[in-house]
Structure 1
Amino acid sequence: MTDLKRPAWIADLHWEQRPADISHRDVAGVAVDASDQVYLFTRFDHQVLVYTSAGKFVRAWGAGIFTNAHSIRIGPDGAVYCVDNGDHSVRKFTPDGELLLTLGVPGAPSDTGYRADLPVRIHNVETVTRPAGPFNGCTDIAIAPGGDIFVSDGYGNCRIHHFSASGTLLNSWGEVGSGPGEFRIPHGICLLPDGRLLVADRENDRIQIFRTDGSYLGEWDDIQRPSGLALTSRGEVVVAHLWRPADNRSFVSDTIGTDEPGRISLLSLSGELLDQWGASADDKAAEGNVIAPHFVTVDSTDSIYVGEVTYTYGVKLGRVPEDHAPHQIQKFTVSPTEG
């Protein structure tokens, strides 16, 4: 940790002013457009909800389209990209929900050997025996300034896929494992202004770094379950770390024996830890703490929005009680006295 002064983060657990006739149990993905409108990609119901930066509801679309909402991103042209890992597709929409492009064949996973019906030591991803093409359980996307698309393909695959703006597959890379250029759930992806591509290699507890041609540059290791990545205007990398319960392990460590709660980190562009908050083993549902942080995004004021899969990862598995379910989206702003 450096000697930099930490900002005082103000949390708002009740930011979302959701209409009474709309419900959801997870905020799997969150994105912000050029006007600071906030897009939530929700589960149960699986749809896109749009809000102002103050949390006022604007519109909803996408109901009936998605199988399992996972990640959402806004492209340089304002288009909205939705990653559906349940049907192995990435769809591009207008901001109002008009379909423009589909990557992958919905409902047709690529052949990686993945099995969901076998006993596993750590995670079902260990049944992946070989890399394959797009997609098998795709997870996230990054869009380059010129429109090229990079997709992390992680729950049933071990690859990064590079597409042209029109959807032509240009390149794929990645193998099964924990070595350089190998993955165990490439879960989040982020393109830096200098052209480096960061990949959150979640179950290997690290962030790997590549050129956009797939060349391996290095890694930041010992990073607990990095799930979502975003970038501030100051050049800090925001990381959402998924909770690891005491009886779990990663592919690079044994059973931990202690609870490692989720958290949010700020890293420098060299991987140095600058700030961290939100972790609590005893009171995960408190405002400012996190239960199952999944993806993050940053607006023009560097406010940070954190989407959580509280139901899928917590309530459904018996890890937290049902009354924790409303803990799904928080906005974090810096105190006006800081700076």
Structure 2
Amino acid sequence: MKIILAAAFTILSIAPAFAELPNPYQPPQRRWATMPDGTPWGTSAGVEIGPKGEIWAIDRCAGTSCDGSSRAAVHIIDPKTGKASHSIGAKLFATPHGLHVDKDGNVWVTDAAISKDKKIGQQVIKLSPDGKILMRLGVAGVSGGGPTHFHDPGDVVTAPNGDIFVADGHGTVAPDLPPDTITRIIKFTPDGKFIKAWGSLGSGKSQFRNPHALAFDSQGRLFVADRVNGRIQIFDPDGKWLTEYHAFNHPSGLYIDRHDTLYASDYNSEGQKGIYIGSAKTGKLKYFVPDDQAGEGIVAGPDGTLYEGTPTGITRFLKKP
């Protein structure tokens, strides 16, 4: 009974702290993004900003999956109208999930499932801005471990030197998983050669339960959204554990801007869902933007506008005047 009461007190004491933080944004604009033909946007988990400030986002083919669809899965969104102005990635993904745009404008997508015909999925695919396939990591339609396979890759990011990092183990959510369940961070060379992997299932240092998003700060530190464990773990590029932040609740999406402002979307908070904004350097919160849409991907545009990938499409948050 004492343990239950203590846990309840902790949750109740944390929730008001979030509510007391200022919110510099206007109410959310739901289902903001649309296709040129008027088709509603489907489920989205990935939103990114390109080197020219362009907004890229995943659309799961106007539904919850791209399996069997001929629609494109990745789009540039006009920041004024919300319409998709350029689209790539048709017939390549079962469940496109993580999205990254590198410094050269190339587009990286993780596919966290397997198609019904077992021909696509469980890969990380690098595309040119016009949709040409530049690299494939993983074996199409096959889940596994080791240096050549993925087990539900959730996100991908490239380091300043071009090294590739993949968060592997999106499905590690259930509390009764076998201890040898694959959940890890994998590092590759810029040309896709395996370097190393680290991590295991659990809640200790360098352990994960649903590593969901990745980001680098200005110091070259790798941030990992350890969603189910309710923390952000921070590593050096060689996988050395440095520290962890707990103020951002259950982070699902991560974005760090050039000022080291850290944005984290909270998918499954015990308290109130929302977007947490704070310092990547210190882990201290500065703002809280309430949002009940269980957001996943998050990015801030050059003018501070927020774009969030949610189960019902893309949500936009404009700053208050």
Same fold, TM-score > 0.5, yes or no = yes
* Residue in 1 that maps onto 2:117: none
Q: How many residues align?
A: 275
Change (3 A) 1:189 1:233: same
* Residue in 2 that maps onto 1:283: none
Change (3 A) 1:132 1:57: closer
Q: Any idea what the Cα deviations from partners look like across 1:49-86, whole Å, max 9, x if unmatched?
A: 22222123312222221100111110011100011111
Judge conservation of contact 1:93–1:99 (CA < 8 Å) in 2: yes
Change (3 A) 1:194 1:73: same
Judge conservation of contact 1:134–1:161 (CA < 8 Å) in 2: no
CA distance in 1, matches of 2:59, 2:279: 30
Q: List aligned pairs for 1:187-336, cutoff 5 A.
A: 187-221=212-246, 223-244=248-269, 260-269=271-280, 270-278=282-290, 289-309=291-311, 327-335=312-320
Judge conservation of contact 1:133–1:172 (CA < 8 Å) in 2: no
Q: CA deviation at 1:183?
A: 0.7
Change (3 A) 1:301 1:21: closer
Structure 1-normalised TM-score? Answer: 0.75
CA distance in 2, matches of 1:67, 1:334: 35
Q: Which amino acid aligns with 2:313?
A: Q
Q: CA deviation at 1:263?
A: 0.9
- Listed as ranges, the gaps of 5+ residues in structure 1 are 112-130, 245-258, 279-288, 310-326
CA distance in 2, matches of 1:16, 1:106: 30
Change (3 A) 1:134 1:212: farther
Judge conservation of contact 1:50–1:57 (CA < 8 Å) in 2: yes
Q: Which amino acid aligns with 1:300?
A: P
Secondary structure of the 2:196 match is strand
Q: CA deviation at 1:295?
A: 0.8
CA distance in 2, matches of 1:52, 1:145: 27
| 2:77 corresponds to 1:66 | no
Question: What value does the CA root-mean-square deviation take over the aligned residues?
Answer: 2.3
* Residue in 1 that maps onto 2:155: 140
Q: CA deviation at 1:31?
A: 1.1
Change (3 A) 1:23 1:106: farther
Q: List aligned pairs for 1:47-126, cutoff 5 A.
A: 47-54=73-80, 55-86=82-113, 87-111=121-145
Q: Which amino acid aligns with 2:54?
A: Q
Judge conservation of contact 2:305–2:316 (CA < 8 Å) in 1: yes
Q: Any idea what the Cα deviations from partners look like across 1:216-237, whole Å, max 9, x if unmatched?
A: 1111126432111001233210
Q: List aligned pairs for 1:5-20, cutoff 5 A.
A: 6=22, 8-10=24-26, 11-13=28-30, 15-20=32-37
Q: CA deviation at 1:301?
A: 2.1
CA distance in 1, matches of 2:39, 2:74: 11
Secondary structure of the 2:44 match is strand
Q: CA deviation at 1:25?
A: 2.3
Q: Any idea what the Cα deviations from partners look like across 1:160-209, whole Å, max 9, x if unmatched?
A: 01111111111111122110111111111111110111101111111111
Structure 2-normalised TM-score? Answer: 0.79
Sequence identity, in percent?
30
- Listed as ranges, the gaps of 5+ residues in structure 2 are 1-16, 67-72, 114-120, 172-181
